[in-house]
Amino acid sequence: MEAAMGLMRRIHPKQTETALSALLSLLPDHSSDLLSQVDQPLQVLCDVECGKEFILCEYNRDADSYRSPWSNKYHPPLEDGPHPSPELRKLEIEANDVFTIYRDQYYEGGISSVYMWEDDNEGFVACFLIKKDGSKSGHGRRGYLQEGAWDAIHVIQVGAEEEGTAHYCLTSTVMLSLTTSDESSGTFNLSGSIRRQMNMDLSVAEGHLCNMGRMIEEMESKLRNSLDQVYFGKTKEMVCTLRPPPEGVQLRLPEI
């Protein structure tokens, strides 16, 4: 299992799906471990009843069906798929509404879905998902990207309320890929995935949604920032080590 995760750390992020199915076929006995530890690009289905798209993940799946956060129904229909309690469903509806606006403001497009379910410790778990296609042909506002995908998965475990506070444990993964391509500079692609965790004890005076929202917003900004500054920066540094930028060389040789 450790070796399998080692392979996933090296294989190109764009090939995650192929690599995962390859590992699943080599290690059928570890399939549940692999599926829970390897994040895959998010898939989308259309809720025909509401005419809205929703995101699929392990948390809204039962057998081969997925529950839509909009109609609360399974697609394809499933007789006795689990649903959150009426109280939690109310929070789930609200979270979906608010998260739609949040997503619009930061992503200028894309799809989002929020799922919640009760856990065994009197608390609950919420999963916030965002999928954005930022390519020219997708939701890219400015048309810079030949291809551009951002998938964010935020899973928050909310502990039971004690004396007005609750414990929140957030695990977030961002997977992204962006490609620009043109005649004069060729094809340029950056892809990657990172995962981070954040723990907080917060007063529930303003409600769980407020707390979860703020944590996710902070986490997303941190992840975006470290991808931009650290991860992309390190690859740039590497390129400049291989072939240091022009200046010095250009001085010596005349242009053609």
Partner 1 sequence: MADFEYQDPEPELSENQKKEIAKWFLLNSPAGEIQYVAKDLRSVLMDEKVYNMAVSEAFPLYNKSYMICLEMPDRSGDVLVTSFGELDENEYLDPRTAQVATVDHVKQVCTEVRHAIDEELPSAYIEEFRCALDAEIIKYVGEAYPKGVCSVYCINGKDVEEPGSDFELAVVISASKHSPQNFCNGSWRSVWIIEFKDDQQVVEVRGTMQVGAHYFEEGNVQLDANHECRDSTILQSPEDCAISITNIILHHETEYMTSLEASYSNLPDTTFKELRRKLPVTRTLFPWHNSLQISLTRDITKELGIGK
Report 193-252 residues binding partner 1 (CB under 8 A): 193-196, 206, 209-210, 213-214, 217, 220-221, 224-225, 227-228, 231-232, 234-239, 241-246, 248-250, 252
Q: Which of 80, 141, 163, 164 binds partner 1 (CB under 8 A)?
A: 141
Nearer to partner 1, 121 or 181 (CB): 181
Contact with partner 1 (CB under 8 A): which of 38, 57, 98, 198?
Answer: 98
Tell which one of 52, 180, 200, 204 touches partner 1 (CB under 8 A): 180
107 near partner 1 (CB under 8 A): yes
Binds partner 1 by CB under 8 A, chosen from 59, 74, 102, 168: 102
Long-range contacts, stretch 92-97, CB < 8 angstroms, 24+ apart = 92/116, 92/126, 93/69, 94/209, 95/126, 95/128, 95/209, 95/212, 96/69, 96/70
Neighbouring CB atoms inside 10 A of 165's CB total 15
Site for partner 1 in 142-171 (CB under 8 A): 142, 144-145, 148-150
User: In sequence order, what DSSP letters do the residues of 68-97 get, joined into one string?
Assistant: -TTT--EES--TT-----HHHHHHHHHHHH
Among 48, 63, 101, 160, binds partner 1 (CB under 8 A): 101
Distances (CA, A) of 144 to 13, 151, 243: 21, 19, 26
Among the listed residues 141, 128, 162, 160, the one whose alpha carbon sits nearest the alpha carbon of residue 59: 128
Q: Which is nearer to partner 1, 46 or 101 (CB)?
A: 101
- Rounded to a whole number of angstroms, the minimum distance from the CB of residue 38 to partner 1 is 11
Of the two residues 6 and 82, which places its CB atom closer to partner 1 in the complex? 6
Is 253 among the residues that bind partner 1 (CB under 8 A)?
Answer: yes
Among the listed residues 32, 36, 122, 256, the single contact to partner 1 using CB under 8 A: 256
The answer to whether the CB of 62 falls within 8 A of the CB of 46 is no
Query: Nearest 5°: phi and psi at 228?
Result: -65, -55
Q: Which stretch binds partner 1 (CB under 8 A): 49-57, 73-81, 111-119, 173-181?
A: 173-181
24-83 positions binding partner 1, by CB under 8 A: 24-28, 31
Q: Which listed residue (57, 71, 94, 165) binds partner 1 by CB under 8 A? A: 94
Q: Is 17 helix (H, G, I), strand (E, B) or coil?
A: helix
Using the minimum distance from each CB to partner 1, give the nearer residue, 81 or 139. 139
CB-based contact 156:169 (threshold 8 Å): yes
Which stretches of 18-164 are assigned E, i.e. beta strand? 43-47, 52-56, 61-62, 65-67, 74-75, 111-118, 124-133, 147-158
